[in-house]
Amino acid sequence: MRLEFSPYIAFQVKDYERAIEFYREVMGMDLVQVGETEAELKSGPITLYVEPGDLASAKVALQKAGCGLEATTTPEGHESCFVYDPFGMIFHLWQEQT
């Protein structure tokens, strides 16, 4: 079986307004539509769906996907966690402070 990748990419960003500006001004993407919870940007066959996100929403999505979470803190004292995915990988998740 051959898999093909979709030209549609959805992701969450920590600074919604600045991300939209970056993809428009720096990357030269066309803004198709923008709302309070999602912006659609396009360049050639690639479409980005940008939405605001944070560590809390990422943790909820990971848990729904079967991941285990262990609360930790970064050396700077910010909230973080170890993520144990259902397939055996363990990684550290944190949100950069701006």
Digit-coded pLDDT (tens) for 15-68: 899 999 999 999 999 999 999 889 999 999 999 999 988 888 888 889 999 999
Local confidence band at 96 (pLDDT 50, 70, 90 cut-offs): low
pLDDT at 54: 81
Asked if 13 contacts 19 with a C-beta cutoff of 8 angstroms, the reply is yes
* Domain total of the chain: 2
**Co-location of 44 and 69 in the same domain:** no
Nearest one of 62, 94, 65, 60 to 77, comparing CA atoms: 94
Q: Is 1 contained in some domain? A: no
**Cα separation of 43 and 39, whole Å?**
14
Q: Is 40 contained in some domain? A: yes
Q: Is 3 contained in some domain? A: no
Structure tokens at 5: 């990748």
What lies within 8 Å, CB to CB, of 27 at 6+ separation is 43
Instruction: Give whole-number Cα distances, 73 to 58, 92, 93, 98, in Å.
Output: 16, 10, 10, 17
Q: Which of 21-30, 78-87, 88-97 has the lowest mean pLDDT?
A: 88-97
